[in-house]
């Protein structure tokens, strides 16, 4: 008797990702995620959601949450996502996410979640005060992905561990319920250039919407004057730009600004240095500010226009939710049958 190779998933390719509606999006989100989503929609069946179920793992103002959801949707569309190509929807509007998450809670092992480093980082010394949702949200992430049988997921360094958990859950479900190849083992799509944009005030810290200084980030809703002012005030060092990537890597703030220029222009860092090596920030910053205004100001303008007409955004989200449910419902129905639920 010969060993048989494991059965692999043979369904269609599909990509899924989402962003939490827990604050204004910024340049790091734009370069690290939104422009990638825009490209992917032309290459693969694309599902992009607003992760409002994930957002409430920490307290969110109920009076603001729906508007924050619209803001993320506006950012998606203003950045180039086409609702006729990509499925854009609020996570909470597709109940299959939560239903599959509970089933996966019964498949995943406690030891797997104990190894998740993000919970330790987010809960800090007060994990007993953290919500159970904050602890188990990687299981919901697995459900987000697998309810659509997504085969590819854009990830940064901080999410690789969660995607491994998704693969473990998929593999264990397929094994436990004798359903070889039922769920795919999704592959990561590494974000590439621009995936990690650092603070404009501290090159060792990631750009964050939670930073108390608004000058640490460029918000997608900033106008041209604000964008230029923030680039002008970005922290640097007194030395001119170097000639090599190796020299640049030792200078965190300079490396960050060169990386932003590269990502916005579609060039490599080496190509940017070829143009600006030996020049000071008095020359480089105005060039970067001009480029950033050119690329980002239209995004902010379109976002403000969309947010001025919430009925249009709501119609897009409702249509996307309907399409997402059409894709998710058959998967959940099959899962219920495999699990053995009555009536399935």
CATH (domain of 60): 3.40.50.620
Q: Which residues pair with 153 in a beta bridge?
A: 188
The CATH number given to whatever domain includes residue 266 is 1.10.240.10
Tokens describing residue 141:
């992430």
Annotated binding residues: 20-22, 28-29, 144, 156-158, 197, 206-210
Regarding whether 162 and 47 lie in a shared domain, the answer is yes
pTM: 0.89
Regarding whether 124 and 87 lie in a shared domain, the answer is yes
Regarding whether 242 and 169 lie in a shared domain, the answer is no
Regarding whether 321 and 297 lie in a shared domain, the answer is no
CA 79 to chain centroid: 14
CA 206 to chain centroid: 14
Domain range enclosing 237: 214-306
**Does residue 202 belong to any structural domain of this protein?**
no
Regarding whether 264 and 231 lie in a shared domain, the answer is yes
Least confident window among 16-25, 137-146, 291-300: 16-25
Regarding whether 229 and 185 lie in a shared domain, the answer is no
Q: Kindly report the backbone phi and psi dihedral angles of residue 88, in degrees, each rounded to the nearest multiple of 5, phi listed first.
A: -115, 125
Determine the Cα–Cα distance for residues 80 and 33; give it in Å rounded to an integer. 12
- Name 262's Cβ contacts closer than 8 Å, sequence gap at least 6: 193, 194, 268, 269, 271, 272
> Percent of the chain at pLDDT above 70?
94
**Does residue 204 belong to any structural domain of this protein?**
no
180: helix, coil or strand?
coil
**Does residue 7 belong to any structural domain of this protein?**
no
Annotated binding residues for L-tryptophan: 144
Q: Supply the pLDDT for residue 1.
A: 37
Regarding whether 125 and 53 lie in a shared domain, the answer is yes
Regarding whether 161 and 287 lie in a shared domain, the answer is no
Kindly tell me if the per-residue pLDDT of 12 is higher than 60: yes
Number of domains in the chain: 2
Q: Supply the pLDDT for residue 211.
A: 87
Please say whether the dihedral angle defined by the alpha carbons of residues 84, 324, 149 and 80, taken in this order, is positive or negative: positive
**Does residue 6 belong to any structural domain of this protein?**
no
Q: Kindly report the backbone phi and psi dihedral angles of residue 26, in degrees, each rounded to the nearest multiple of 5, phi listed first.
A: -135, -175
List, for residues 151-193, the tens digit of each pLDDT value.
999 887 667 888 999 999 999 999 999 999 999 999 998 755 5
Q: So which residues are the catalytic ones?
A: 122, 206, 209
**Does residue 223 belong to any structural domain of this protein?**
yes
């Amino acid at each position: 008797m010969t060993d048989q190779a494991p059965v692999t998933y043979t369904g269609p390719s599909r990509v899924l990702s989402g962003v939490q509606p827990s604050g204004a999006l910024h340049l790091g989100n734009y370069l690290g995620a939104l422009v990638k989503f825009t490209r992917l929609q032309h290459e693969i069946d694309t599902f992009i959601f607003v992760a409002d179920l994930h957002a409430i793992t920490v307290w969110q103002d109920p009076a603001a949450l729906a508007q924050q959801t619209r803001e993320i949707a506006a950012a998606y569309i203003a950045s180039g996502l086409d609702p006729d190509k990509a499925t854009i929807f609020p996570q909470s509007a597709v109940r299959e996410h939560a239903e599959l998450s509970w089933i996966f809670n019964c498949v995943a092992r406690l030891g797997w979640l104990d190894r998740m480093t993000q919970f330790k980082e987010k809960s800090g010394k007060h994990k007993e005060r953290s919500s159970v949702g904050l602890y188990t949200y990687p299981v919901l992430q697995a459900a987000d992905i697998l309810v659509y049988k997504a085969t590819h997921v854009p990830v940064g360094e901080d999410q690789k561990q969660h995607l491994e958990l998704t693969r473990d859950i998929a593999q264990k479900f397929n094994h436990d319920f004798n359903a070889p190849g039922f769920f795919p083992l999704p592959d990561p799509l590494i974000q590439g250039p621009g995936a990690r944009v650092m603070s404009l005030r501290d090159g060792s810290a990631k750009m964050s919407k939670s930073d108390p200084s608004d000058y640490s980030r460029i918000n997608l809703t900033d106008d041209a004057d604000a964008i230029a002012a923030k680039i002008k005030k970005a922290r640097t060092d007194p030395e001119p730009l170097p000639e090599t990537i190796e020299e640049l890597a030792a200078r965190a703030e300079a490396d960050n600004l060169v990386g932003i220029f590269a990502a916005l222009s579609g060039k490599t860092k080496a190509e940017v240095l070829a143009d600006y090596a030996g020049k000071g920030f008095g020359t480089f910053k105005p060039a970067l500010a001009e480029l950033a205004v050119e690329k980002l100001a239209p995004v902010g303008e379109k976002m403000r226009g969309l947010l001025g007409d919430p009925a249009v955004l709501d119609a897009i989200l409702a249509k996307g939710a309907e399409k997402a449910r059409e894709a998710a419902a058959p998967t959940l129905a099959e899962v219920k049958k495999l699990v053995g639920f009555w009536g399935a």
